[in-house]
């Protein structure tokens, strides 16, 4: 029985969620539902008895967001409000995906996520604030191909694997308000790349440490986007689970 409908069905997270929970979830992509179109959303809601609406649809390209603020706010901020209202009308629960950048809103993308966190009803909706890594992430993809990659030694975060993010979304589906799902300790991008090399037995010499500096003409990025997690997640163990996950796929 389908209990989850994932909007933004072509997103990495939606695909991962349906991979892990194929019997209870269905993905709906933009060709079937433009989340900025209320009629599209309502059509989907009328056709499903699913209790949970997982909104993975978002514009996440930081530079694109900076150049296209109206479109970014339409998709990332206004659309989830429409979805939440329709969830109330059709007796469904919204699970909204947010970002570590919402906690440090230094650019258009971060502001769009910050605003939706503030505007959604914390008594009805679950907001999942997270930062996840995946197979096609620049650092990981390059190392898998034995290519040289650059990694910031002075930019910090505390990510989790995309598969762990999907599992935690399912486990915490009945909670409300904001939940932070991150690894337990912050780490530099460089040291994260070193851990990836260790887990996947890749040459550490491929990783070149570089210094991060915000540049004029580009979206500002916070040098430290780490956030205290509500769930204890060990990054080393998480990387090994990620390794198993991508081998199975």
The dihedrals phi and psi of 128, each to the nearest 5 degrees, come to: -100, 110
DSSP 224: B
State pLDDT tens for residues 26-62. Answer: 999 999 999 999 999 999 999 999 999 999 999 999 9
Region label for 113, one of left (φ > 0), alpha (ψ between -120 and 50) or beta (otherwise)? alpha
What was the pLDDT predicted at 55? 99
Helix (H, G, I), strand (E, B) or coil at 160: strand
Q: Is the pLDDT of residue 75 over 80?
A: yes
pLDDT digits (tens, 9 = 90+) for 203-242: 999 999 999 999 999 999 999 999 999 999 999 999 999 9
Q: What is the pLDDT of residues 170-204, one digit of tens each?
A: 999 999 999 999 999 999 999 999 999 999 999 99
Is pLDDT above 90 for 138? no
Q: For position 152, what pLDDT does the model report?
A: 98
For the chain, the structural domain boundaries read 4-248
Show the tokens assigned to 9.
Answer: 């069905």
Q: What is the tens place of the pLDDT at every residue in 89-126?
A: 999 999 999 999 999 899 999 999 999 999 999 999 99
Q: CA dist 36 to 43, 71, 121, 137, Å?
A: 13, 10, 19, 27
Residue 247 has what pLDDT?
81
End-to-end CA distance of the chain: 23
Between the alpha carbon of residue 95 and those of residues 25, 117, 129, 170, 173, the distances in Å are 13, 12, 11, 10, 7
Q: How far apart are CA 206 and CA 197, in angstroms?
A: 9
pLDDT at 248: 65
**What is the pTM assigned to this prediction?**
0.96
Distance, CA of 219 to CA of 164 (rounded, Å)? 29
Q: Which of 4, 66, 14, 99 lies closest to 217, judged by CA?
A: 66
What beta strand segments (E) does 44-159 contain? 52-55, 93-99, 126-130, 132-133, 149-152, 156-157
Per-residue exposure over 75-114, b if at least 16 CB sit within 10 Å of its own CB, e if not: bbbbbbbebbebbeebebbbbbbbbbbbbbbbbbbbbbbb
Percentage of the chain modeled with pLDDT above 70? 99
Strands 25-28 and 149-152, bridge-based pairing? unpaired
Q: Which residues pair with 7 in a beta bridge?
A: 28, 55
> pLDDT band at residue 249, thresholds of 50, 70 and 90?
low
Domain 4-248, CATH number (from 3.30.420.40, 3.40.50.720, 3.40.50.11270, 3.30.70.240): 3.40.50.720
Q: What is the pLDDT of residue 170?
A: 99
User: What does pLDDT average to over the chain?
Assistant: 97
């Amino acid at each position: 029985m389908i209990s989850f409908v994932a909007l933004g069905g072509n997103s990495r997270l939606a695909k991962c969620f349906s991979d892990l929970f194929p019997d209870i979830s269905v993905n709906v992509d933009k060709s079937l539902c433009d989340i900025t179109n209320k009629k599209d959303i309502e059509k989907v809601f009328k056709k499903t008895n699913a209790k949970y609406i997982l909104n993975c649809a978002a514009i996440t390209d930081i530079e694109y967001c900076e150049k296209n603020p109206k479109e970014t706010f339409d998709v990332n901020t206004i659309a989830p409000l429409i979805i939440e209202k329709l969830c109330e009308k059709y007796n469904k629960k919204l699970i909204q995906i947010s970002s570590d950048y919402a906690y440090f809103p230094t650019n258009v993308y971060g502001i769009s996520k910050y605003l939706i966190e503030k505007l959604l009803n914390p008594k009805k909706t679950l907001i999942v604030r997270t930062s996840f890594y995946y197979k096609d992430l620049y650092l990981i993809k390059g190392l898998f191909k034995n290519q040289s990659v650059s990694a910031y030694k002075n930019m910090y975060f505390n990510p989790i694997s995309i598969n762990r993010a999907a599992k935690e979304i399912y486990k915490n589906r009945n909670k409300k308000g904001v939940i932070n799902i991150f690894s337990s300790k912050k780490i530099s991008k460089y040291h994260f790349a070193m851990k990836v090399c260790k887990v996947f037995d890749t040459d550490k010499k491929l990783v070149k440490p570089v210094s991060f500096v915000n540049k004029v003409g580009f979206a500002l990025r916070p040098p430290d986007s780490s956030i205290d997690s509500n769930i204890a997640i060990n990054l080393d163990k998480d990387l090994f689970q990620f390794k198993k996950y991508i081998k199975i796929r």
